[in-house]
Structure formats: structure tokens, C-alpha cells
Amino acid sequence: MPQIFISYTHVKPDEDLAAELSAFLENNGFDVFLDSKIRLGQNWVEQIDVQLRNSTHFVPLLSAASIKSDMVRREIAIAYKLKKADKITILPVRLSVSEELPYELGAYLDLIQYIVWRPGESFNRICRAILDAARGGSAISGATGSRSAAFAAPELERLTLRTQVLTRGAILGRAGRRLVLHLSQSWGGLKTRSALLDNILRWQIPTSPKFNPILAT
């Protein structure tokens, strides 16, 4: 049976949405993992890792609190590696988070479509959208995931220079990003940074995937 891993922090409304989403998905035939299900005496970190690797879908609830949580960041990093191996589908939910994600999280999630919950709204729309996606009705994994009315189309920022920089920077790794950031501080903004990354990629990784040169101005 498919298992859905919900990543969240224990603050409101995050934990309320996590509880309601968990109950809704379980009532519709899915196994759901929440960290509250870890039993007394179990190794907490080990159980998180095991359950992530046993899951078919990963639902990070991204809020002002959760994007600062070390554990949530760690879970997202693991899920991203599993996604690259086609072992898990990531279905992000943003809880009133409209600003840019922190650099590290943006590198993992900026190219993945997400759904937004806003204060005062019931959780029903979110629950149904996640259920539909988990059943295969809204394939949103990866940068080319098909769009659904339930899920927000990526904002224009996702096709801007920042996203191009994030994607290239993720491939280059920490050392490459630091080099480019250092050089571009003197030579200009994101446009210069993106061009630098392109040149370094062509030199360092000649067989790297081609990037779509769609850059917003």
C-alpha cells in the first residue's frame, strides 16, 4: 500500500493540517507517517529515515516555522535524493509562505509545483488535492510535472534568473556556488551569475543536461 510521509513542525496551523490531512488520506486507503507515530524507546532519527525510504510520496508543509527547522530541512534533503532516484514524489504545501525559500530549500523545491493554503481557509481543498496527486491525478514531480488546477502553476519567478542560478548551482556544489557568488558580487547581479555558472558547467561538466535559456528580464 502506498505510504505518504508528512513533514511538518509542531506549531499551529502546521500540526492541525498534518493531523487532518493524515486522517483524510488514511480514510481513503493510504498509509500515512507522522513523527507522532514513533513509539516510545524507538530511535527517532533512524525511524524518520526508514519511513522516508518506505514512502511513495513526501508532503512537506512549508511554513515560516518549518523552513527554519533543522529536521524538516533534513527530511527535504533526503526526499530530494530519493526523488532523483525516482523513488518518491514530492508534493509541497505552502502555508502562507509567498517569499523566496532559503537558498538550500530553494535548490531542492523551486522547480516543483506546489499548492498554497491561506489563513482562514479550510483544509479540505488541500486534502483533496494531495489525495488526487497521490492517486496519480496530478503528476507534479520534477520541473516538467504536468499542471493541475488544484496546484498553483509556478510563479514567474520560477523561470527567472534566480531559478536558473539555483539549478546550476545545485549541480556545481558548494565550492562552485561560492566561486560564482564571490565573482558576481563585483561583476553584477543574477544575470552575470547565471552566465558564469553556464560557462563553468560547460567547462566542468561537458555532458551535463542542456538548460532552457528562458531568462526573464
**How far apart are alpha carbons 160 and 197 in whole angstroms?**
15
Instruction: Please report, rounded to a whole number, the percentage of residues in the chain having pLDDT higher than 90.
Output: 49
Is there a contact between 90 and 141 (Cβ–Cβ < 8 Å)? Answer: yes
Mean pLDDT of 69-81: 95
How confident is the model over 147-196, as pLDDT tens digits? 334 455 444 333 344 555 555 555 556 556 566 565 555 555 555 555 56
How confident is the model over 80-137, as pLDDT tens digits? 999 999 999 999 999 987 778 888 899 999 889 999 999 999 999 999 999 999 998 6
**How far apart are alpha carbons 92 and 151 in whole angstroms?**
10
Greater confidence, 137 or 209? 137
CATH of domain 3-154: 3.40.50.10140
Q: What pLDDT is recorded for position 153? A: 43
Classify 96 in phi/psi space as left (phi over 0), alpha (psi -120 to 50) or beta. Answer: left
| Cα distances (angstroms) measured from residue 50 to each of 27, 47, 206 | 23, 5, 36
| Cα distances (angstroms) measured from residue 83 to each of 74, 89, 90, 91, 201 | 14, 6, 7, 11, 23
Q: What pLDDT is recorded for position 66? A: 96
- pTM here? 0.65
Is residue 77 pLDDT above 50, yes or no? yes
- Range from 68-72, 73-77, 208-212 carrying the lowest mean pLDDT: 208-212
Q: Where are the domains of the chain?
A: 3-154, 158-204
Q: What pLDDT is recorded for position 91? A: 97
Is residue 4 pLDDT above 70, yes or no? yes
Is there a contact between 133 and 188 (Cβ–Cβ < 8 Å)? Answer: no
